[in-house]
Amino acid sequence: SQQGEEDPQALSIQEGENATMNCSYKTSINNLQWYRQNSGRGLVHLILIRSNEREKHSGRLRVTLDTSKKSSSLLITASRAADTASYFCATDSYSGGGADGLTFGKGTHLIIQP
C-alpha cells in the first residue's frame, strides 16, 4: 500500500521564488527521505531526516518533519531552472518483517519558469 503521498502533484513557479512540497504518510517511520528525479533518469538522494529530528538543512533545501501529523515538507529556496524535476518522499517504515524497504510516493513535478 502507498505510504508517502506528495502534495501538490505539480507545481510551476518563477525562477527565484521558493518552492514548497509536502508529504504525508500513514505508519510510524524510522526516517523520511527526499529524492529528485530528472526526466527518465535515476533518482538522486537529497536529504534524510530521522524520526527524532524536526528540521534539517542542506544548502538551499530545508526539510521539516512532524511525526504527530505524519507529514514532512521540502522547501527549496531561491529556485533555479535546474531545479526542474520530480521530487519524491520515501519512508523507512520498518514494521518488523525487515522486507519493507523504502516506500515512495507518486512525486511532485516541479517546473521552474525562467
* Binding site residues, other proteins, CB under 8 A: 2, 4, 30-31, 33, 35, 40-45, 48, 88, 90, 92, 94, 98-107
Cβ closer to other proteins: 63 or 79?
Answer: 63
Nearer to other proteins, 38 or 113 (CB): 38
Taking the complex as a whole, the smallest distance from the CB of residue 31 to other proteins amounts, in Å, to 7
Closer to other proteins at the Cβ: 62 or 104?
Answer: 104
Output the smallest distance, CB 42 to other proteins, in A.
Answer: 4
| Residue 12 and residue 111 in contact, taking contact as beta carbons nearer than 8 Å | yes
Closer to other proteins by CB, 79 or 91: give it.
91
Q: How many CB atoms lie within 10 A of CB 93?
A: 20
CB of 73 to other proteins, least distance (A): 19
SS (H, E, C) the chain: CCCCEEECCEEEEECCCCEEEEEECCCCCCEEEEEEECCCCCEEEEEEEECCCCEEEECCEEEEEECCCCEEEEEECCCCHHHCEEEEEEEECCCCCCCCCEEECCCEEEEEEC
CB of 79 to other proteins, least distance (A): 23
